[in-house]
Amino acid sequence: MSAASLSAFFSWDVLAWSKPLLRGLGVTVICALLGYLFGALIGLLIAFAKLGSSRLLSGAATAYTVLLRGVPPLLIIFLLFFGTNSLLMWIASGFGYNDYIEVDAFFIGVIAVTLVVAAYSSEVYRGGFKAVPAGQLEACHALGLKPMHGMLFVVIPQMLRLALPGLGNVWIMAIKETTLLSIIAVNELMRVASTAGRTTGQPFLFYGLAALVYFSIVLVSNQFFHWMEDRLRHR
């Protein structure tokens, strides 16, 4: 096959699979974004629990973080996918419903990303809180600010500025974790690229395209977080 015909063959394969690949990219970004936003919010609450005075809440938050960071993400996805299915069927059987209940794989994927992001981001927040000088709250008290106001308007903004690089890394981790969702038949970018490679007999072409897309997402994300750091640094 000549170079011209080979190029035409590659172009036709990419063109034919362009829409499925774009849909897969959309699923990847939406799943990662939802999991990241929910996980970052839950992670902030977990960080507060770790730093709080309640030993029970602190212990539970620490145990959650250790467990989720110690278990492979793929295993978490399997446990959620098959465990949720079994739980729903067990509950339904109590009401006399014995048919098979199918769990939405995308929903499970978002939950899996959320749980992992929450565990890692909580440690990022905790480190940010520890890096804020303790005298900041004392200064707020001296100025007559209520503890809640001092936390919201003085401590948390400084913490977020310090935690931003770590949160950027957690976002990149969330993007990469979505590739594991192909195991439970979520039609994200990696699964579509794999299907296209098997169908056309050009796995290197489509895996290469997927690698380029993931690299582009990471590159743009890094630039965005660096821009945010610069903005916050000059405030």
Position of tokens 């990149």? 172
Please tell me the distance from the alpha carbon of residue 149 to that of residue 161, in angstroms, as a whole number: 18
Please tell me the distance from the alpha carbon of residue 56 to that of residue 42, in angstroms, as a whole number: 17
Count of domains observed in the chain: 1
Q: Considering only residues 194 and 133, tell me which one the structure prediction assigns the higher pLDDT.
A: 194
Query: What confidence tens digit (pLDDT) does each residue in 35-94 have?
Result: 999 999 999 999 989 988 889 999 999 999 999 999 999 999 999 988 887 776 777 677
**Are residues 98 and 129 in contact, defined by beta-carbon separation less than 8 angstroms?**
no
Residue 67: give its domain's CATH number.
Answer: 1.10.3720.10
Query: Does residue 13 register a pLDDT over 70?
Result: no
Task: Determine if the pTM surpasses 0.75.
Answer: yes
Total residue count of the chain as it appears in this document: 235
- Check residue 43 and give its pLDDT: 95
Please tell me the distance from the alpha carbon of residue 143 to that of residue 150, in angstroms, as a whole number: 10
Query: What confidence tens digit (pLDDT) does each residue in 111-133 have?
Result: 999 999 999 999 999 988 888 77
- Check residue 235 and give its pLDDT: 63
Q: Considering only residues 231 and 177, tell me which one the structure prediction assigns the higher pLDDT.
A: 177
Query: Does residue 213 register a pLDDT over 90?
Result: yes
The CA-atom distances, in angstroms, between 9 and each of 2, 178, 193 are: 10, 30, 17
Mean pLDDT of 7-30: 79
Residue 82, CB-side half-sphere exposure with 13 Å CA sphere: 6
Query: Does residue 219 register a pLDDT over 90?
Result: yes
- Check residue 23 and give its pLDDT: 95
**Are residues 207 and 197 in contact, defined by beta-carbon separation less than 8 angstroms?**
yes
3-state class (DSSP) for residue 97: coil
Q: Considering only residues 105 and 97, tell me which one the structure prediction assigns the higher pLDDT.
A: 105
- Check residue 5 and give its pLDDT: 45
Q: Is 98 exposed, middle or buried (0-12, 13-18, 19+ CB in 10 A)?
A: exposed
- Check residue 102 and give its pLDDT: 72
- Check residue 4 and give its pLDDT: 46
Residue 147 — very low, low, confident or very high, per pLDDT cuts 50/70/90? low
Residue 160 — very low, low, confident or very high, per pLDDT cuts 50/70/90? confident
Name every residue whose Cβ is closer than 8 Å to that of residue 122 and which is 6 or more positions away in sequence. Answer: 42, 43, 44, 46, 47, 50, 61, 65
Domain coverage including residue 217:
3-233
Residue 9 — very low, low, confident or very high, per pLDDT cuts 50/70/90? very low
- Check residue 12 and give its pLDDT: 62
Name every residue whose Cβ is closer than 8 Å to that of residue 165 and which is 6 or more positions away in sequence. Answer: 225, 229
